Structure 1
């Protein structure tokens, strides 16, 4: 079924279709007004015609997109990399990864291994005799990357963005929302009933006797419910400032003596003297629970947490139980992913940076890395020039913006600072065992991010994941190796490199000095450096962009209209990115021919090719902050005089707004 288009665009396409008939051709000779070309009516459909024809929506898929295909390509490339590492590894890291991959693909060996990989952890838990033994077991499980009772992870110190501190946060629950444990409606109770059955399945698989299953499952649910009752809602957790409450390690250790937080940090290799602990009520409850909950109940809970965390990596009985609840009940998946993808996801979870290191070496050439860095720097220079000529920023804000843009670090391909790839040898005998080896290594490297000067130690995305993002805390642009390929980047096609990749760079660099970027100054200090007039000017621009999108019907949703307020932030950055990339391209290629100009705009539009089912379109209309693909293509282009010039579009035509209607961010 073809995707419905906004009325104004549908009318234009109808006119183009009519002129192909003999009768219409005769009428056109008598008409005073010439037909509007497709490029000036709906550029998206023209630029993506080949892709749309070649990629109909499969019956079993909710959506397909050009960028989704790039992600699929990256997965296949990783699969090829690991296949090669398994057969003929080049170097120690590939040798480890090849063994890891082979152990996961050998399903017979995984089945024979059963629950043996977690046996040492279960024995450690079974050794608990008294309340004072519980905290050491908690710390030991965190060390191998299995967080229990609470979560602990590095994140930026909001008072000193050049460092990370450890955050003690709520966790330890097997359900994704604390409300699951406290609501009494029928749907929630039904999920909780299915969850209780799943807990019993996992406990049985970890060796709990049948006669103890009901009591141990109740102990698990009781412990998690006690945690949930003192936990914050998901909405409260979305505010980073609400989760930031720095305290000294000495104070935290003294306040929660039963939890032995000082010893916990020592076990994780953390030597910092400051942590964040934003929910003292929860940790007071956890501290009391160490003494109040019986050791046998703690053992049931910890056995369950180990079994649940490791279930996807163990024998089929564990995997089937995990998928039956987490895959089907919670996620709504009809069937598990193919085995190779399950193994790849597992390896990326436990050893993703190792894969990323080898992925970049295999799939990113030095010339691609160099060219991508050059273009990013040229877009940065275009942003600096745009700030200089800007008329809506105050002089003080322009000075701060200049300093901040100049200070942006460009990291292309892989993180600037490599990790320590010293990993315990991984044989081919035990996939679950290898998961624990790699997860322990990954946790160790995560803990190294804590402390002054270590905040930029790695990225929060992996090089093998297509991503291009501005890191506001570190004032850096992150460009992964996987994103530097078509349709985003083509080292042999300059127009495409600027129109696709360069525009995406512009969308992200502009975020350094937009309303959110203005919350952090050039020195990395929190504090708004915009004046009220700057904020008002930005709000006005946002309102105008939102209105442009709100004027369109939502493709695929009968009677639906785009929610401009929902998509405005991304829409603003899209507009800004295209403007900046256009400036950079014009400066780098002053003699570009019309065909090259057209290729530049075509590259932008082809980023957003997509086919979406009616159900998915309706879901996106309600919650998606990204506009539909054809509007991400067409709306920002319609604000650019250079686009109209490239295709001889007249002011007032669908793809060329009048000067008064055009939104300008940085031009």
Structure 2
């Protein structure tokens, strides 16, 4: 930095005072005074040797660094992270362009000798340096030339030695014919450190509570000790068998994300994951940026000047998957599953259930939500006085939309509410302010001849609100939802405000989720299928695939045997059911093809911007399938998702790799535990093909009832009886809704029948091993109960009752087994005990 004259004189005076008016002593004089001897002179030979050594190391060390890493685990693994985090996030339900999964395999690294070729770059560098030295310092030219010559000679000799040591031996056959290429086994692209994972959860006979008979409650007999000795961590809202597997899947994904983030040449999926992970874990960068990454979205909302501009904003937001009022997805047509059509569905609410807005018992929760809206608007930059004034108006919009929404209880039991085929003109008649042709043009699509406008009452109410609600209120509504949606990607103030309501008030969480788990949850939700191939590589070994193939074959055979004996089916229905069983596909581990990732546009600048780019890319990929043939290889779940499902449109069952872990599947366990665990889970999904929804879709995925009137009547009688049976159960002090949970209860009942039959087939002719003094069938039912081990906060239990179609886990552990005479026989239960139903009250589904 330049200095002025005064500063120069001050420095000059200080210099003179320091040296008492004398010249500064030389370096030689200083060393003589301080150390009693002069510094050593320049050693030409030593300098030449040092230069040669530096040149040698600068080349050899990078070569060593590029050698393949050893397969042995690190001697000092990284510290094991804390285990408090939420369950895995949801998977995207979109259709993607796919490619063969084999094409995604990384090419094997070439096995080259360390000194296989002369590094010409280093030789050139040495000779160039020698020439430059000769030109600038003629007196030092000779040492420089000698050094350069030595470097060149050394590497020439090393290259020759490397060639002679690593070349293939020459034989007489080599003279006549070129050698066949040597194929090396590919090295794993990603590796796991087992020390950073949780130990497997396995059944232990000491877990059983001997003071509670299984004839009183199987669930309590198997899980009560665990429930009483397990503490729910403050960052969790539920914990159980499924959550243990979700935790391990999350820890696997953490290691994968860390490795992807430091890859030098990642493929496109790995780049997406690496960029999301690196920016999400950049806590300092996110804190410094604060609200800045959100500002473009807020400015776009403020730019809205009238109703037409408001509708244009919503249509454009749909292209980025950022429309808070309704969703647009492309899926197979219910009536013609070979073709994809567009589906519009309701959204727009900040509370999980539309029925909570007018529930008198939810008054305190509504007040908490209003306060959350105010705080979120203030964080977005709105003055608090305006936020206090506009928050009630935002809740009024949501209350109006909630009243027009289809409740979850109907969404979960009547799939037809999603299917309402209309032309663009018919849709415009129902919603005059919404030009649906304009919508499709905004997505970069030609308007189709027809599409599905599900929940038409909701869209009619939305159309009215767009016309009648003041623009200022709509802009405040959009501002709140844009900020609330982006909050988990922003600074701590946004994260804490978001989690205080959505995690604390809604779910009962008492502390912040660990950062790595929160970031991975968002990555899974937005880009989970980009992680899928890597997860399958490390978590779905070949022996697991072979074992599951045997189990699924037994389950399919058992299904056909159960259909042949099903007493509520007449001959015609039984034939149709057998056709569906013959065409049903069960895929385990991972899909046969992976989605293709293009240039998403992620980088290492902003986590929020990366998340927005990924969501927009996924939406573009999905809507591009409009009008195209349906993809029968597409999975709705990723391999790292701890869940399973049946797609009735494709007659497909998908069982992700993350589910294929102990205690559900264990290569070292006996058949009873495997069939009572993963067998019952797969059987559950198989049985969904024949429940109230499954009997509305045939073997080809076409919608329509394929039961005869007689079989439908018999089926309905059993379904009504089962609904009444579950109405008498209680979970957390509240009655179970037998109608809402009907299909899941039917699937539990049918799946357990199929799995029991499959186990008997697989073990036929082999003696019962009587492990731990238990019979094979006792262990089968115990394994089923272990799968339904869980505890949760009261708030989480209440939320699940509102938006989950399954009954509480303790009810599931008892409900299906109590209808089995095989259970009564296995545990020697007597009449009158809670788990012993009279024969006329036992329900057989499959």
Q: Which residue of 2 aligns with 1:626?
A: 807
Rounded Cα–Cα distance in structure 2 between residues aligned with 1:306 and 1:112: 20
- Give unpaired runs (5+ residues) of structure 1: 1-12, 18-36
Greater shift, 422-431 or 103-112, is seen at 422-431
Q: Which of 517, 520, 523 is equivalent to 1:344?
A: 520
Q: Which residue of 2 aligns with 1:141?
A: 317
Q: Which residue of 1 aligns with 2:290?
A: 114
Rounded Cα–Cα distance in structure 1 between residues aligned with 2:555 and 2:387: 61
Rounded Cα–Cα distance in structure 2 between residues aligned with 1:289 and 1:93: 41
TM-score (norm: length of structure 1) = 0.79
TM-score (norm: length of structure 2) = 0.64
Give the CA deviation at 1:636: 2.5
> Closer, same or farther in 2 for the Cα pair 1:542/1:233, shift >3 Å?
closer
Q: Tell me if the contact between 2:632 and 2:650 (Cα under 8 Å) persists in the aligned partners.
A: yes
Q: Which of 277, 299, 303 is equivalent to 1:123?
A: 299
Give the CA deviation at 1:483: 0.6
Cα deviation 1:170-190 (Å, max 9, x = unaligned): 333434455666x596964x6
> Closer, same or farther in 2 for the Cα pair 1:84/1:602, shift >3 Å?
farther
Rounded Cα–Cα distance in structure 2 between residues aligned with 1:213 and 1:54: 45
Q: Tell me if the contact between 1:259 and 1:290 (Cα under 8 Å) persists in the aligned partners.
A: no
Q: Which residue of 1 aligns with 2:427?
A: 252
Q: Tell me if the contact between 1:167 and 1:275 (Cα under 8 Å) persists in the aligned partners.
A: yes
Q: Which residue of 2 aligns with 1:20?
A: none
> Closer, same or farther in 2 for the Cα pair 1:40/1:315, shift >3 Å?
closer
Cα deviation 1:427-463 (Å, max 9, x = unaligned): 2321111111111122223324543532646333332
Q: How does 1:441-480 map to 2 (within 5 A)?
A: 441-454=617-630, 456=632, 458-480=634-656
Q: Which residue of 2 aligns with 1:518?
A: 695
Give the CA deviation at 1:475: 1.5
Rg (Cα) greater in structure? 2
Give the secondary-structure state (helix, strand or coil) at the position aligned to 1:594. coil
Q: Which of 621, 636, 642 is equivalent to 2:817?
A: 636
Rounded Cα–Cα distance in structure 2 between residues aligned with 1:220 and 1:614: 29
Cα deviation 1:191-212 (Å, max 9, x = unaligned): 5554444334333333335675
Q: Which residue of 2 aligns with 1:264?
A: 439
> Closer, same or farther in 2 for the Cα pair 1:425/1:365, shift >3 Å?
farther
Cα deviation 1:533-586 (Å, max 9, x = unaligned): 4345445655776798899x97987xx999888876545433433332233334
> Closer, same or farther in 2 for the Cα pair 1:617/1:237, shift >3 Å?
closer
> Closer, same or farther in 2 for the Cα pair 1:550/1:94, shift >3 Å?
same
Q: Which residue of 2 aligns with 1:402?
A: 578
Give the secondary-structure state (helix, strand or coil) at the position aligned to 1:334. coil
Give the CA deviation at 1:530: 2.4
Q: Which of 753, 770, 778 is equivalent to 1:579?
A: 753
Rounded Cα–Cα distance in structure 1 between residues aligned with 2:845 and 2:415: 30
Q: Tell me if the contact between 1:634 and 1:655 (Cα under 8 Å) persists in the aligned partners.
A: no
Give the secondary-structure state (helix, strand or coil) at the position aligned to 2:689. helix
Q: Which residue of 2 aligns with 1:29?
A: none
Q: Which of 538, 541, 547 is equivalent to 1:362?
A: 538
Q: Tell me if the contact between 1:545 and 1:663 (Cα under 8 Å) persists in the aligned partners.
A: no
Q: Tell me if the contact between 1:489 and 1:497 (Cα under 8 Å) persists in the aligned partners.
A: yes
Greater shift, 534-543 or 102-111, is seen at 534-543
> Closer, same or farther in 2 for the Cα pair 1:76/1:202, shift >3 Å?
same
> Closer, same or farther in 2 for the Cα pair 1:109/1:278, shift >3 Å?
same
Q: Tell me if the contact between 1:415 and 1:458 (Cα under 8 Å) persists in the aligned partners.
A: yes
Rounded Cα–Cα distance in structure 1 between residues aligned with 2:229 and 2:337: 44
Q: Which of 237, 243, 252 is equivalent to 1:77?
A: 252
Give the CA deviation at 1:216: 5.3
Task: Say yes or no: does 1:204 pair with 2:378.
Answer: yes
Q: Which residue of 2 aligns with 1:433?
A: 609
Greater shift, 456-465 or 107-116, is seen at 456-465
Cα deviation 1:240-265 (Å, max 9, x = unaligned): 32343211135435765643322322
Q: Which residue of 2 aligns with 1:593?
A: 767
Q: How does 1:217-236 map to 2 (within 5 A)?
A: 217=391, 220-221=394-395, 223-224=397-398, 227-228=401-402, 230-232=404-406
Q: Which residue of 1 aligns with 2:488?
A: 312
Task: Say yes or no: does 1:499 pair with 2:676.
Answer: yes
Give the secondary-structure state (helix, strand or coil) at the position aligned to 1:595. coil
> Closer, same or farther in 2 for the Cα pair 1:55/1:478, shift >3 Å?
farther
Q: Tell me if the contact between 2:268 and 2:597 (Cα under 8 Å) persists in the aligned partners.
A: no
Q: Which residue of 2 aligns with 1:67?
A: 242
Q: Which residue of 2 aligns with 1:24?
A: none
Q: Which residue of 2 aligns with 1:26?
A: none
> Closer, same or farther in 2 for the Cα pair 1:323/1:629, shift >3 Å?
closer
Cα deviation 1:331-351 (Å, max 9, x = unaligned): 443333222222122112221
Q: Which residue of 2 aligns with 1:56?
A: 230
- Give unpaired runs (5+ residues) of structure 2: 1-207
Greater shift, 600-609 or 486-495, is seen at 600-609
Cα deviation 1:54-106 (Å, max 9, x = unaligned): 95355868864323322332222222322333345764422321221121122
Rounded Cα–Cα distance in structure 2 between residues aligned with 1:635 and 1:42: 12
Q: Which residue of 2 aligns with 1:93?
A: 269
Q: Which residue of 2 aligns with 1:34?
A: none
